[in-house]
Structure 1
């Protein structure tokens, strides 16, 4: 693959020509097909330069504001008094759930309820717990890697990224290990946009699968609530003072949040990291020469990949941002994927540079009260995977352009064919 070819799926020049030929008033940067084809980059590049707080008048998601620069995103993300995450107002994604299907979870809540629910589950990723998890993650990563075929093509997404993160999720929930791929399925179903030919073809089909998820987790809740408190997430929720009286909808909302948060973000960074090292082979050479660079490479991968492309808020009052007046009730989308490529804040942002001086200067985990609760766990999983990979092989080659998820929320991969050099 060509060094630095960040979007061979459509062709950088063709995509840039289309983005710069389109009138700004017709911009819809949240179009999922831009992300599926990896051609969203020039659209955000132009917005950062010409219209960093942009209003889309109409789209399949309705009208919305796009916030595309690093500092403006920070201003929104850290001001929960003005920019709300409440599910009842639309929640945290560009796509509004139907009013009858809006399920609260602590990420889609404002204080004070947000604070007490988040506090209930945060001990799962305490430094003590992370230290206890490390040998388990390493053992599983080693087993997964040792079972990979050498010298023949295979799907890295399925064999490594999904398998490792799903095993970790099963551990966090104390979920029946042999049925762990149910978690993968529910995560994918939860974030998919129903359409013919997609993972689920209608909202009704999606809801039916999510009801299966609720039924399964309700059974686990009923088992745990009648046992002494344990250190898994379901037991924490069942026994937590702020969560033990949740409605079924709220329980499902929190379960889906924890599944997607623990699955999609880490799994797509595991895939995205390997993809990026193949795009920038000189960085792969650096890594092989100095395994100590893993420490700075991991947050740089998370910045470069940006596994969640955006988070959304709803304005609680009229507010001015970068010279634009956002009205009360307006939908405001913080494009982390754009802020992480902001040329005014990050030098040479389109490149993966594994020895950056400030690799944690990124937006991928969010900021403020909703900063990702599992960020250290995600970094630990990535670190361990790369430590174990480098013990085994000189190079893993990406054989063709990956197939990407059709989503402007989860920025991920459906398939990526690779080969381990024999």
Structure 2
């Protein structure tokens, strides 16, 4: 382990503040908690003292926090009581149907419309398509890894995590590879909070999104005329349930596919390097038993949890674990906490390559809203590491990663590494 992993002084000060706050005043949705790496500390306190917790004065308004695995799963499996619908509030702690930065998409729909839209794109992730997809991913992984410098520091996020996810996103969406990096920029705009370095204002964010919509509107018109391709836009255009959807829904679905394809895989790839750097014995364990590669992706999804939360809105008054949740209340499901829950995962803060129940992780959701691209995300992580193990003995993290200032995207802005030698 080479990076200075100890929390900086201001992060330790925040931990002390978290410990000293009256529990009812704790707002775990603060982006600085995530940027400074203390969110897990705050969530651990809620899990221990108030697993169904009400914050009346949060940065994003009043909300409930659900932090235990069983409770997050129970709410995910009860869409009749806890709505994902855009017009009820949507799927993030900050979203609101009246704000122009938020768009309806099938992830922010309830049954039956959710199932109709989801069914339209499901064929893109069939086993046959994923086998062909995997062959292309392996070629790209080899090309990206063979181009990395040896003995010189570089940003893994930019060169590898983004490099791979940009190409795969373009392939899945049927976009020319020349626009692959644009997809990443638009995905970042979609989830940017005020103050983001690239999109500091709502106006800057919307300007980037309208660039995205202009390109996909052109693609959409072509796919409506000829929806015979296998890409995700063609599939949406080929089904009667989706080919006549409103323009706002089309835009929302495009943003969903961008964010789902970018942030989940990208931050899992970056997180895997961080995990092995912090837990070098696990890398040795994997080298000794390469068959453990099959367990790598689910354990990385659990340990990293690239989307920290999803939000639901109660559509009726309900008693839940001894607390009265009222109709219209915002309910935030902290995946990051559920995936560290000691009742389910022994030593939940540790990365364990051979963890037997890693597939109980909730990083990709549960029930009807489980990530439709989970198979593609897992495939990319596994194939990338198969190719890494052929080429490099280790990847050294040389500086503390710069984390994303967001309580929704749990990831890294940059990750400076050095590869000492080729295997």
Q: Counterparts of 2:14 and 2:2 in 1: how far apart (Å)?
A: 18
Count of residue correspondences: 420
Q: Counterparts of 1:258 and 1:200 in 2: how far apart (Å)?
A: 20
Q: Counterparts of 1:37 and 1:401 in 2: how far apart (Å)?
A: 11
Counterpart of 2:374? 375
Matches within 5 A, 1:320-331: 320-331=319-330
Q: Counterparts of 1:319 and 1:16 in 2: how far apart (Å)?
A: 33
Counterpart of 2:121? 121
Deviation, structure 1 residue 288? 2.2
Counterpart of 2:359 in 1: which secondary structure?
coil
Q: TM-score, normalised by structure 1?
A: 0.97
Q: Counterparts of 2:391 and 2:267 in 1: how far apart (Å)?
A: 22
Asked whether the equivalents of residues 9 and 39 of structure 1 are also in contact (C-alpha less than 8 Å), the reply is no
Counterpart of 1:307 in 2: which secondary structure?
coil
Counterpart of 1:191? 191
Q: 1:49 to 1:228 in 2, by over 3 A?
A: closer
Deviation, structure 1 residue 349? 0.4
- 1:164 pairs with 2:164: yes
Asked whether the equivalents of residues 292 and 353 of structure 2 are also in contact (C-alpha less than 8 Å), the reply is yes
- 1:146 pairs with 2:178: no
Asked whether the equivalents of residues 288 and 394 of structure 1 are also in contact (C-alpha less than 8 Å), the reply is no
Matches within 5 A, 1:337-416: 337-416=336-415
Counterpart of 2:332 in 1: which secondary structure?
strand
Mean Cα deviation higher: 258-267 or 283-292? 283-292
Mean Cα deviation higher: 392-401 or 278-287? 278-287
Asked whether the equivalents of residues 90 and 97 of structure 2 are also in contact (C-alpha less than 8 Å), the reply is no
Point out where structure 1 has 5 or more consecutive residues left out of the alignment. Answer: none
Counterpart of 2:240 in 1: which secondary structure?
coil
Q: TM-score, normalised by structure 2?
A: 0.96
Q: 1:187 to 1:126 in 2, by over 3 A?
A: same
> How far does the alpha carbon of each residue in 1:85-135 deviate from its partner, in whole angstroms, 9 at most, with x for none?
010111000002350524210000001110000000011001111011111
Counterpart of 1:211? 210
Counterpart of 1:247? 246
Q: Counterparts of 2:241 and 2:258 in 1: how far apart (Å)?
A: 20
Counterpart of 2:296? 297
Asked whether the equivalents of residues 125 and 373 of structure 1 are also in contact (C-alpha less than 8 Å), the reply is yes
Q: Counterparts of 1:87 and 1:257 in 2: how far apart (Å)?
A: 12
Q: 1:77 to 1:228 in 2, by over 3 A?
A: closer
Asked whether the equivalents of residues 307 and 412 of structure 1 are also in contact (C-alpha less than 8 Å), the reply is yes
Q: Counterparts of 1:264 and 1:9 in 2: how far apart (Å)?
A: 26
Deviation, structure 1 residue 15? 4.5
Counterpart of 1:314 in 2: which secondary structure?
strand
Asked whether the equivalents of residues 31 and 408 of structure 1 are also in contact (C-alpha less than 8 Å), the reply is yes
Matches within 5 A, 1:258-269: 258-269=257-268
Matches within 5 A, 1:23-62: 23-62=22-61
Asked whether the equivalents of residues 187 and 255 of structure 2 are also in contact (C-alpha less than 8 Å), the reply is yes
Q: 1:7 to 1:244 in 2, by over 3 A?
A: farther
